């Protein structure tokens, strides 16, 4: 089987620079694998593709099959890592217009997402869309009290109970939460909802290969067995501490080399629109893991060739502080041939008989050379094709690289203290009990 490959020949670094990172790579490897680094309580993901709860996985599959039989729609309620991984996989591996395909022609249900924003317009539109459809919900939250998903769950739970009655609604509510504590765990015990566990050793952004991501992914008709197969193979392939033999560690090392040379912004680039939400997951993974203590490479994303007509100029000729990480699919699953036009009014007959994927490849190669000429280093991750196996492998590649890169950077890659700041301010301004003193302070600041 072909493998995921990492090409750094356009990284604009010298080979000796990578070799000189070996001691730091070894130290980061030891911190991660010996569980002695900062945040080690949240490194359960390292071996999770092997150690996951097999009995729970069977329940996940059964729940997904039930959802596919009794529902047209699954509403996934969660924010951050509670939904981004699942959405990344579903949108990467599904038909581009899957929601418009008749139910009988699809492998799974339509999956929509709520609780990831506080927009009344978005939620009302989603409620209008599913009013006349049979639907289930999967609410995902460690605590059950995070504002955005808690609001959405309250509203969709009410809609389910009005539509199906309390007992009928109970059969359509699936909860993924803490094993022992929290508001949602208490509610499951009280109401008897089907529930799954967010493992204690997995932070949200590292949880896509657990029930957090697997239930929605399976309900969408995607083969989670193959997804885990790819991740399991990746565990083995990316465990060598020798940076010359481990492409995952090469990526982590080169990111830090470039950062030390003033490259403060990394752009995740793809040439397939289906990767747009994979980019969003990647941005959370690296943004939350590395962005602390005044450090971190700012994660951005672009979809080419679309964004070459908006961001291409600033990437090529703007401030010299960025590099690109390109994910390239060697053999896309589908293609369209460019037809011959007798009139040739658009002047494109020189590519008649070629396919769109061929043109896309030439755009990739031309852009790569242009950006490198503009002193924008390019790191290229190539997968043979886009399927569940390589998606699982790529997820693990980035998770492992992120943990190693964070330790090289000198931060705790597994916490996110800055995320709590906005929550406290929002709670205070909303008048949540216990935040009265902070509320008065913030109101004074707002007046100024």
Asked if 222 and 108 count as a contact pair (C-beta separation under 8 A), the reply is: yes
Q: Is residue 373 part of a domain?
A: yes
Mean pLDDT of 288-306: 96
Instruction: Please write the tens of the pLDDT for every residue from 250-292.
Output: 999 999 999 999 999 999 999 999 999 999 999 999 999 999 9
Tokens of 289: 């893991």
Q: What is the pLDDT of residue 1?
A: 53
Mean pLDDT of 386-408: 97
Name the 3-class secondary structure at 232: helix
Q: Is residue 93 part of a domain?
A: yes
Largest Cα separation within the chain, whole Å, is: 75
Backbone phi, psi, residue 208, to 5°: -60, -30
Q: Tell whether 20 and 79 lie within a shared domain.
A: no
Determine whether 423 is an active site residue. Answer: yes
pLDDT of 248 above 70: yes
Nearest Cα neighbor of 328 from 407, 263, 251, 381 is: 381
d(CA 268, CA 190): 44
Asked if 98 and 199 count as a contact pair (C-beta separation under 8 A), the reply is: no
Determine whether 194 is an active site residue. Answer: no
Asked if 116 and 78 count as a contact pair (C-beta separation under 8 A), the reply is: yes
H-only helix segments in 196-246? 211-219, 224-237
CATH of the domain at 327: 3.40.50.10490
List all residues 6 or more positions away from 424 whose beta carbon is below 8 Å from its beta carbon. Answer: 435, 438
Q: Is residue 260 part of a domain?
A: yes
Mean pLDDT of 363-387: 96
Q: Is residue 349 part of a domain?
A: yes
Q: Tell whether 178 and 235 lie within a shared domain.
A: no
* DSSP result, 41-93: GG-GGGTHHHHS-HHHHHHHHHHHHHHHHH-SEEEEE--GGGTHHHHHHHHHH
The residue from 91, 272, 280, 288 that is catalytic is 288
**Domain span including residue 165:** 47-222
Instruction: Decide which of 222, 255, 278 is a domain's last residue.
Output: 222
Q: Is residue 267 part of a domain?
A: yes
The residue from 179, 186, 236, 423 that is catalytic is 423
| Helix axes 388-409 and 247-260, enclosed angle (nearest 10) | 40
Q: What is the pLDDT of residue 244?
A: 95
How much is the pTM?
0.94
Q: Tell whether 268 and 159 lie within a shared domain.
A: no
Q: Tell whether 73 and 18 lie within a shared domain.
A: no
Name the 3-class secondary structure at 173: strand
Q: State how many domains the chain has.
A: 2
> Mean pLDDT over all residues of the chain?
94
Instruction: Please write the tens of the pLDDT for every residue from 13-72.
Output: 999 999 999 999 999 999 999 999 999 999 999 999 999 999 999 999 999 999 999 999
Mean pLDDT of 374-396: 97
């Amino acid at each position: 089987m072909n493998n995921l490959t990492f090409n750094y020949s356009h990284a604009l670094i010298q080979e000796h620079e990578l070799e000189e990172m070996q001691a730091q790579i070894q130290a980061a490897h030891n911190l991660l694998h010996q569980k002695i680094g900062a945040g080690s309580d949240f490194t359960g993901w390292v071996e999770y593709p092997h150690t996951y709860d097999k009995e729970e996985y069977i329940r996940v599959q059964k729940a997904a099959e039930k959802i596919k039989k009794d529902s047209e729609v699954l509403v996934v309620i969660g924010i951050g890592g509670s939904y981004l991984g699942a959405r990344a996989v579903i949108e990467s591996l599904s038909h581009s217009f899957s929601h418009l395909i008749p139910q009988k022609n699809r492998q799974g249900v339509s999956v929509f997402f709520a609780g990831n924003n506080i927009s009344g317009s978005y939620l009302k539109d989603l409620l209008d869309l599913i009013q006349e459809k049979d639907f289930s919900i999967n609410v995902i939250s460690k605590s059950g009290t995070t504002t955005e998903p808690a609001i959405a769950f309250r509203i969709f739970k009410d809609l389910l109970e009005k539509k199906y009655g309390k007992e009928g609604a109970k059969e359509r509510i699936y909860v993924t939460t803490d094993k022992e504590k929290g508001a949602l765990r208490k509610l499951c015990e009280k109401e008897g909802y089907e529930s799954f566990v967010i493992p204690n050793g997995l932070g949200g952004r590292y949880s896509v290969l657990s029930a957090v991501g697997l239930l929605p992914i399976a309900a969408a008709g995607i083969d989670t067995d193959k997804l885990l197969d790819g991740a399991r193979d990746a565990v083995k392939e990316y465990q060598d501490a020798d940076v010359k033999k481990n492409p995952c560690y090469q990526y982590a090392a080169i990111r830090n080399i470039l950062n030390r040379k003033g490259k403060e912004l990394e752009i995740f680039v793809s040439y397939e629109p289906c990767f747009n939400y994979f980019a969003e997951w990647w941005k959370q993974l690296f943004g939350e893991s590395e962005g602390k203590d005044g450090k971190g490479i700012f994660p951005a994303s672009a979809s080419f060739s679309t964004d070459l007509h908006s961001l291409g100029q600033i990437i090529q000729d703007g401030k010299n502080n960025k590099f690109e990480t390109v994910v390239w699919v060697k053999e896309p699953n589908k293609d369209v041939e460019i037809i011959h036009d007798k009139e040739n009014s658009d002047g494109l007959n020189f590519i008649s008989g070629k396919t769109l994927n061929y043109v896309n490849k030439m755009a990739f190669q031309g852009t790569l050379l242009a950006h490198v000429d503009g002193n924008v280093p390019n790191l290229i991750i190539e997968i043979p094709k886009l399927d569940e196996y390589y998606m699982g492998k790529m997820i693990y590649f980035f998770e492992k690289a992120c943990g190693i890169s964070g330790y090289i950077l000198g931060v705790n890659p597994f916490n996110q203290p800055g995320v709590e700041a906005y929550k406290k301010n929002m709670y205070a301004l909303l008048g949540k009990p216990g935040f009265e003193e902070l509320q008065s302070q913030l109101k004074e600041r707002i007046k100024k």
